[in-house]
Structure 1
Amino acid sequence: MTEALSGAPARIVFLDRDTLSPETKLRTPSFPHEFVAHGRTLPEEVASRIADADIVITNKSPVRREAIAQAPNLKLVAVAATGYDVVDVSACAERGIAVCNIRNYAVNTVPEHTFALILALRRSILAYAEAVRRGRWQEAGQFCFFDYPIKDLAGSTLGIVGDGVLGRAVADLGRAFGMRVLFSAYKGSNGMGPLYTPFEEVLRQSDIITLHSPLLPSTRNMIAAPEFALMERRPLLINTARGGLVDEAALADALTTGQISGAAFDVVTAEPPAPDHPFMRLLNRPDFILTPHVAWASSEAVQGLTDQLFENIDLFWAGTPRNLVA
């Protein structure tokens, strides 16, 4: 047992506290510790801030090999998210540094946000609200007007790419709305069994396609110009999963040329997107919605994430680690 684990105060450094809501309450670790929280940490600041840390908490601040090499006391990197690509897991494994993440905290918030986006587009809610603000109702001169399309969800086909806990929760909501649900097989695979529909067929048959996959080499840009060309029903495309699953320039072209009926994204490859990002020229369109990576961020989910984060740290220090990825 190391000196820190045997009772000396542990130094815990939170690199990016501002990535959690200021209303979120942080639990106090149950063991002797010193806690330092930085609002945000630039990549070039990471090494100096973790140099004397026993435990590092990060959400989006990168913990790379160079910084890890300069942190001789480091024992745990606790990721305040499910995705852990911000951490050099291989470098941690070489040093015997544990890495843990958060799991199954977003089972309500992400599916609800997904359907908020679907309903907003399917019923043109934002477009009608904006029209009312600019005086279109008075101009119409009658009890309603019909400037934008409105379609029911019942009877439509929902294609889901990603069959984890979030994809399955979205499927449950879809069925509750009376939708036909298709789970996509992995792109390029037709041998996943009768519960899955080939990827290309999901693209062809779906009225709405929603993404719930991790970002991996095999899933990066899995929807690009060739895939948009297969979308015979001009579907809505929803992405509350990861930026990079969709070729964003191709998405802008597909929306502009009418290959799809609308798109709603909560994630972008680079966050925040640069002013010249393809999505920036779509923001005034009634058939496009961009939200700032907040599908995960209901107050209940963020508090649950934070509680799980500090439980992970307590359990690791007690010698019973969980949610380890390295």
Structure 2
Amino acid sequence: MLKICVLDAKTLGEDAQLSVFDRFGTVEIYAETRPDEVVERIKDVDVVITNKVVLKEETLKDASKLKLICVAATGTNNIDLDYALKRKIAVTNVAGYSTMSVLQHTFAMLFYLMESLHYYDKYVKSGEYAKSSIFTHHERPFHELYDKTWGIIGLGAIGKAVANAAQAFGCKVVYYSTSGKNNNSQYERVELESLLKESDIVSIHAPLNNSTKGLIDYNRLRLMKRSAVILNLGRGGIIKEDDLARALDEGLISGAALDVLENEPVNSDNPLLGIKNSERLFITPHIAWASIEARKRLVDEIALNIEAFTQGKERNRVC
């Protein structure tokens, strides 16, 4: 039987059914784990489950019994993979569990901005609509998605799902490959500058790496149409937040929606929190991935990764 610990269960939600791990042995569940608590909590365990807690050489070196690290996410940048390989500690992740959740949230964010939903809801509930002499209200005109150009930065699994849905709405889809290696014959691949210039909607679904950090800066935001909207559901840091705040204040673009920020939770002095017209900006606290169904798939996949490991099989293994 294995000794398992979950280091940051709170990130999976209080409704997560972590009892699925009980069949493998004893399970210690921690809601959160501070950096100074990691060494003590993992020193005698066989399996560690972590979402965002960092596991580097200095925290892993005393975990002599550790055999498996299960990352409760797709990205593994919080794990020292080289050291894990050296120690023969297996590392697994979970890919694809949140695709439909992020797809749904992408369109929810877009429509909130594009159709001024906050304004119209407030207009009715404030009593202003009750005073109207006509049945409708045209203070905030909106456009259809049909026949617009949707530019996608990062055409992975999520990017492809968004592309398919955008196409169903009648959009022309173009994409930019952040790695330079993605060639998809279904959609037109363009250079980043061309994508920014011609797109009515730009959505980011890329990882944060040396190629994407600071990719969208003030000069590139200036290339966009003044009527355009940019959405970031990839990683914070891809858009330079100071530059985005400036572009929104100057009216260089119509709006922006972000589910990810460079620092999470957001810093209280983040320039985006103080822009002149806050209705141009919609921010959610990194929740696009976190539908009930997606989080259930995530936990179930982790359990399957542990099961495969106990049977000597490789499943979603990173190293």
What range describes the TM-score normalised by the shorter chain of this pair? over 0.9
Encode CA deviations 1:175-228: one digit per residue, 9 max, x unaligned: 1111111111338x6995873111110000000000010111111111011111
Check if 1:271 corresponds to 2:264: yes
Matches within 5 A, 1:193-232: 195-232=188-225
Identity of aligned residues (%): 37
Deviations 1:225-246 (A, max 9, x none): 1111111354101011111111
1:96 aligns with 2:88: yes
The 8 Å contact of residues 260 and 285 in structure 2, kept in 1 or not, is answered as yes
Q: Does 2:107 match 1:115?
A: yes
Q: Unpaired segments of 5 or more residues in structure 2?
A: none
Aligned-residue offset at 1:107: 2.0
Aligned to 1:316: 309
TM-score using structure 2 length: 0.93
Residue 139 of structure 1: how far off its partner (Å): 5.2
- Whole-angstrom CA distance in 1 between matches of 2:121 and 2:85: 52
Query: 3-state SS of the aligned residue for 1:186?
Result: coil
Matches within 5 A, 1:43-58: 43-58=35-50
Q: Which residue of 1 aligns with 2:247?
A: 254
1:76 matched to 2:54: no
Deviation larger for 255-264 or 140-149: 140-149
Task: Work out the CA distance in 2 between the residues paired with 1:233 and 1:159.
Answer: 15
The separation in 1 between residues aligned to 2:75 and 2:123, in whole angstroms, is 39
Aligned counterparts of 1:66 and 1:283: Cα–Cα separation in 2: 45
TM-score of the aligned structures, taking structure 1 as reference length: 0.91
Q: Which amino acid aligns with 2:301?
A: Q
Query: 1:285, 1:296 → 2: CA distance?
Result: 24
Match for residue 25 of structure 1 among 12, 17, 36: 17
Residue 281 (structure 1) aligned to one of 256, 274, 283: 274
Q: C-alpha deviations, 1:72-131, integer Å up to 9, x for none?
A: 111111000111111121221221111110011112111111011111111111222123
Q: Is the 8 A contact 1:30 1:314 kept in 2?
A: no
Amino acid at match of 1:136: E
Of 136-145 and 92-101, deviating more is 136-145
For these two proteins, the number of residue pairs brought into alignment is 317
State the distance in 2 between where 1:21 and 1:30 align: 18
- Tell me if structure 2 keeps the 8 A contact 1:205–1:233: no
* 3-state DSSP of counterpart to 1:237: strand
Q: Which residue number in structure 2 is paired with residue 302 of structure 1?
A: 295
Write the letter of the residue equivalent to 1:39: A
